[in-house]
Amino acid sequence: MLVRTGLLLTSHDKAELTLFSLARIFSIGLIFDIGVAAFTVTPYALYLLILPVKFNNALANKIITYTCFVLAALVMILSFFAEFTFWQEFESRFNFIAVDYLVYTYEVVSNINESYPLPLLIGGVLLLTFFITFLFARLGYFAYSFQGTLKLYKRAILSVIILAASIFYVLLIPNSLAEKSRNRVQNELAKAGIFSFFAAFKNNDLSYQDFYKLIPNKQAFEIVRNELNEPGFINDSNQFSISRHIPGTGEMLKPNVIMITIESFSAEFMGAFGNTQNLTPNLDSFWKQSIHFDNLYATGTRTVRGMEALSLCIPPTPGSSIVRRKNNDSLCTVGNVFKAKGYENAFFYGGDGYFDNMNQFFGGNGYTIYDKGREALELDHFAAGRNTIPDSLVHFQNAWGICDEDLYDAVLQDANLKFRSQQPFYDFVMTTSNHRPFTFPAGKIDIPPGAGRDAAVKYTDYAVGAFIRKASSQPWFANTIFIFVADHCANSAGKTDIDISKYQIPAMIWNLPHAEAKTIDKLCSQIDLYPTLFALLHWNYESNFFGKDVLSAAYEERSFVGTYQRLAYIKKDSVVVLSPHQKTESFHYNKLTNEQTYFPASNSLINEAIAYYQTADYLYKNGGLKQKRNPK
């Protein structure tokens, strides 16, 4: 209740509170809190059930009881502080992100240590735990327990009630019980952090076939093939395929391509999108000289979603990103298109590529890995093709990896080697500096390191400018395209479950030979970036992509955004949201006011949304994204 009240006070401006909503938040919250209480005491209740009354006052029982109490209190207090920290970053109760973070304890603990005074926090938590234990002991609760004389049948009745309550919550109370309001913040406040954590752990892998509204697969593929509206489908007899041959027009260009994927870089940070803080002078300058996308949206809220969209050109599917799943090697990727043209592909990451399965994914799809891994872990199956960025290039490092400047120096070094061997190259570069704890080398900009997001954004822009200045003196520069694009926005939380404004990101194609600056204001997605680039390069290639050339006369405006559960299809100003339990919602979206007004969408629009996400899931699950393979 204290957590819920504290979070409510910090986000009351977004919660749109009324007396009814307050009553709903705290009453539903109480239901979840009772569930957490039942989970917490069940093991100890079962222990008491089998403990004979005569041993209540025994030393062993006292040790066990005090230990259980201290551990339970410690977990509760750690959760108390962790929830405020998590809410500050995501404005959400614990979700699948928190579950994922448990796998990568080094990065997460290091990040916490660099962002907060960890020794003080741990010391405070321990002091508070022992104070509460001492308080309960002084109030006589432990003595009462040790002197208890409850008979076996009464203990059995109580234990059965507590155990039944736990089973009831596990089987019958979903976390979605809280998700009845149109205001997302109200829903999150009604939840309980520990309950939400275990719900996310249980539902981290969502089956599209089991949880989402379906149409016949044949109909779904017919809709998508019609929406793609491109000639050259390779196998018309295979109804469950979108493979097609994209013809090139004009003289083919073969420049090198370096894509800088910028961590957590919302469109709102740039002057080009109205920011007046002058945080991004370099990127704003490049924007004016580039082919840039004014109305492009990320597919998700995490780095691995951006990687999925930018390498596979596919709408998001529920659960974990394909980057983190099994059987994600030998797929039809953007890298395959480059490889077919004689390019060498590389993935650069300033941290340990073991994080979020990046090395497994990129290594398994033909990219050479360059990262700053702590070591070639046994679990990293692509360690043989993994190059550690040398210490000689590293001047600053934090929890998430080396600073952007050092990463760019590694990219420059590799580009020079490839140029000397006359090898065209395509680089997928993933930065890390624009991430909490927002630290970077001192003395670079006029905001000190660790001063918050604005400082990290300004350093990110500074590093990009320094990189381009160094690159411009290299002999390969004139024949190299630079793509600047965000992986996702800095903050995806808003009033609604999917706040579309929190998905808009900048993207630009800069230094394209013989090309004039151009604004693309059509609504589009991350998955459209590379099909548009390949058209500008006049390439012919085989495509298994859902993305399209935005500059084509046949292009119809649409985009795809989602969380790990909710999948949204945006077509002009209409939005259809698909969620578990075969649920569909629809609304009009006013971009100028960021208002969402509910309305009943047509069956055809709903079927379009279902078709895109259903076929994307089908192709992945049935091998349809594999190279030179048809789906089952």
pLDDT tens digits for range 134-177: 999 999 999 988 988 888 999 999 999 999 999 999 888 988 89
Q: Which residue, among 378, 492, 483, 389, has the nearest Cα to 429 in the 3D structure?
A: 483
Given a contact cutoff of 8 angstroms between Cβ atoms, the answer to whether 94 and 197 are in contact is yes
Same domain, 199 and 228: no
Same domain, 119 and 32: yes
Please give the distance of CA 611 from its chain centroid, rounded to a whole number.
Answer: 23
Question: Could you give the CA distance from residue 385 to residue 353 in angstroms, rounded to a whole number?
Answer: 12
Average pLDDT over residues 378-387: 53
Same domain, 446 and 524: yes
Same domain, 245 and 171: no
Same domain, 198 and 223: no
* Residue 567 token pair: 């999948």
Question: Could you give the CA distance from residue 207 to residue 235 in angstroms, rounded to a whole number?
Answer: 28
Within 13 Å, how many C-alpha atoms sit on residue 507's CB side? 31
Residue 381 lies in a domain: yes
Residue 627 lies in a domain: no
204, 238, 259: which is the final residue of a domain? 204
Question: Could you give the CA distance from residue 361 to residue 556 in angstroms, rounded to a whole number?
Answer: 31
Q: How confident is the model at residue 343 (pLDDT cuts 50, 70, 90)?
A: very high
Residue 198: per-residue pLDDT: 87
Same domain, 9 and 147: yes
Phi and psi, residue 508, nearest 5°:
-150, 150
Residue 626 lies in a domain: no
| Tens-place pLDDT, residues 21-33 | 999 999 999 999 9
Average pLDDT over residues 204-227: 88
Per DSSP, 475 falls in state T
171, 204, 237: which is the final residue of a domain? 204
Residue 629: per-residue pLDDT: 45
Same domain, 193 and 269: no
Question: Could you give the CA distance from residue 101 to residue 85 in angstroms, rounded to a whole number?
Answer: 14
Average pLDDT over residues 60-68: 95
Residue 82 lies in a domain: yes
Given a contact cutoff of 8 angstroms between Cβ atoms, the answer to whether 509 and 483 are in contact is yes
Q: Angle at CA 371, nearest 5°, toward 367 and 374?
A: 135
CA distances, 544 to each of 57, 200, 320, 585 (Å): 70, 32, 21, 29
pLDDT at 628 over 80: no
Tell me whether residue 138 is exposed, middle or buried, using C-beta atoms within 10 angstroms of its C-beta: 0 to 12, 13 to 18, 19 or more. exposed
CATH code, domain carrying 255? 3.40.720.10
Question: Could you give the CA distance from residue 268 to residue 282 in angstroms, rounded to a whole number?
Answer: 15
Q: How confident is the model at residue 494 (pLDDT cuts 50, 70, 90)?
A: low
Domain containing 48 equals 2-204
Same domain, 40 and 83: yes
Residue 504 lies in a domain: no
Residue 505 lies in a domain: no
Average pLDDT of the chain, as a whole number: 90
Element (H, E) at 287: helix 281-289
Same domain, 278 and 175: no
Given a contact cutoff of 8 angstroms between Cβ atoms, the answer to whether 24 and 190 are in contact is yes
* Residue 406 token pair: 């050092």
CA distances, 577 to each of 157, 254, 299, 434, 497 (Å): 46, 40, 13, 30, 10
Q: Domain count for the chain, please give it.
A: 2
Rg of the chain, C-alpha, whole Å: 27
Residue 582: per-residue pLDDT: 87
Same domain, 200 and 231: no
Average pLDDT over residues 107-134: 85
Same domain, 381 and 299: yes
Same domain, 353 and 406: yes
